[in-house]
Amino acid sequence: MAQTQDTPKIAVSGLYKRFGGNQVLAGIDLEIGRGKSVVIIGGSGSGKSVTLKCILGLIKPDSGSIRIDGRESTGLSGTEREQVLARVGMLFQAAALFDSMSVWENVAFGLMQRQRMPAELAREKALAAMAKVGLEAGLADLNPAELSGGMQKRVGLARAIAPEPEILFFDEPTTGLDPIMSGIINELIIERVRELGATALTITHDMKSARRIADTIAMIYQGRIIWCGPADSIDECGEPHVEQFIRAKSEGPIALDVLRA
């Protein structure tokens, strides 16, 4: 298994996935370099989430290859899959906190289950992770349902970073948050990813967030990556689909399935 500095951390090629009669992914190709932050943008239903879930192994693609550290991961299951996932952290769109557990147990879950850490030490580590996302220790014993949306997102972020993963995934990290909280979450993501030296993949349709977080932006449309380039060059990309998306124009090549009277 050749693993050099040049091997991309995540390399996706020719990814196809169909649900019933709906071809969701039609040949996704994407490379994410070690320590880089890539943001995938695209409209609802364009295949962003499915791409992310395929890389995580939550959905099995129909065909194509996903290599993590140069190693094929599409066919993995059981212990091998868990070994891959042990190096991954994920922040879910609605945080997906375990509502049967307290806040600190949520954050410490990976440490206790995956790394078999004793509860006391795990609680300490959980409090440290919570501090890094600006959550006070006083919140540790609350139930996640008692927290606001922004707080829940931060607990989700703390849970993702607590086991110090090499790869972080963010699913719509700012969706449903007010602009100030969105800004805070963006900054936290940048800081934590940098501190861990992690590779990050974010999917979003929030352009402000994408510009802030990304080294590279990739735009997905109808199950394909139609443009991929450095975040600061996206305004001059000249690709009409991307132009329409980032300027939020209703007229353009992307025709949404809106019924017009």
Partner 1 sequence: MMSRWNFLAAIGRIFISFLNSTGHLILFTATALRHVVLPPFFLRITFQQMLRIGYFSLPVVGLTAIFTGAVLALQIYIGGSRFNAEGFVGQVVVISMVRELGPVLAALMLAGRVSSAIAAEIGTMRVTEQIDALTTLATNPFKYLVAPRLIAATLTLPLLVLVADIIGVMGGFLAATQRLGLNAGIYMKTTLDVLQLEDVTSGLTKAAVFGFLIALMGCYHGYNSKGGAQGVGAATTDAVVSASILILLFNYVLTDFFFS
Give the footprint of partner 1 on this chain (CB under 8 A). 53, 56-58, 82, 85-86, 88-90, 92-94, 96-99, 109-110, 113-114, 159, 163, 169
Closest distance between partner 1 and the C-beta of residue 53, in Å? 8
Rounded to 10 deg, the angle between the 149-161 and 179-196 helix axes is 10
- CA–CA dist 7, 10 (Å, integer): 8
Nearer to partner 1, 108 or 225 (CB): 108
Closest distance between partner 1 and the C-beta of residue 38, in Å? 18
Q: Which two tokens stand for residue 217?
A: 């932006």
Closest distance between partner 1 and the C-beta of residue 142, in Å? 17
- CA–CA dist 131, 195 (Å, integer): 14
Nearer to partner 1, 78 or 179 (CB): 78
Closest distance between partner 1 and the C-beta of residue 121, in Å? 17
- CA–CA dist 43, 245 (Å, integer): 8
Write the CB contacts of 122 (distance below 8 Å, at least 6 apart in sequence): 108, 111, 112
Closest distance between partner 1 and the C-beta of residue 78, in Å? 8
State whether residue 140 is helix, strand or coil.
Answer: coil
Nearer to partner 1, 42 or 110 (CB): 110
Nearer to partner 1, 133 or 228 (CB): 133
Quick one: how far is CA 2 from the chain centroid?
26
Nearer to partner 1, 86 or 137 (CB): 86
β-pair type (216-221, 37-41)? parallel
